[in-house]
Amino acid sequence: MGRQRLQGWLAFLACAGVLALLPELFPPETEPLAVAPRSRPAVVQTEQAAAPPDARALRAGPASRAVPQANLFAARSWRVAPSPLPPVDSAPSPVAAPPPSPPPAAPPLPFEFIGRLDDSVRLRVFLLRGDRLHTVAAGDVIDGTYRLEKIAADELTLVYLPLNQTQSLSVGEHP
């Protein structure tokens, strides 16, 4: 069995070698393409140059057609040339400056006054922000954004800390 296997491999390798050398022994019957300078396209001329172009192309096949030569590795740029500038006048025209933007303003107060508690130690107020109730006294900071500065009979003075702007919340008269 080993000898038959060896003969099979030798036959296979011999056939592969013959198939590999076959193009070398029998080259195809086409004319090589002419190489032209890079600056212009090359055209391969055949013996049927005197025949009309249609007949010549039919007889000669694809080898006689024009083969353009291109430089595949030429430098290319995607840069667009800038448009020419308009002529410059001798007197510059006045350019209107954009209006100054208004200074940033604090958002409206998000609190609703609920009530106050006056015990003997300090005066506290109840403020509602959304669904959260805050009990604060003068000087307390609410959520790191507002500080209650002063509690008066008819209004609360709060400071919006990011812009350091003072705002007032009317509380009305409460006994």
pTM summary value = 0.44
Contacting residues for 106 by C-beta, under 8 A, at least 6 apart? 160, 162, 163, 165, 167
Give the three-state DSSP class for 173: coil
Q: What is the DSSP letter of 2?
A: H
Best CA proximity match to 158, nearest among 173, 131, 136: 136
Does residue 167 register a pLDDT over 60? yes
What is the architecture of the domain spanning 111-170? Roll (2.30)
The pLDDT, as a whole number, for residue 175 is 47
Instruction: Assign 58 a pLDDT band (cuts: 50, 70, 90).
Output: low
Does residue 119 register a pLDDT over 80? yes
The pLDDT, as a whole number, for residue 56 is 53
How do the domains of the chain map onto residue ranges? Answer: 111-170
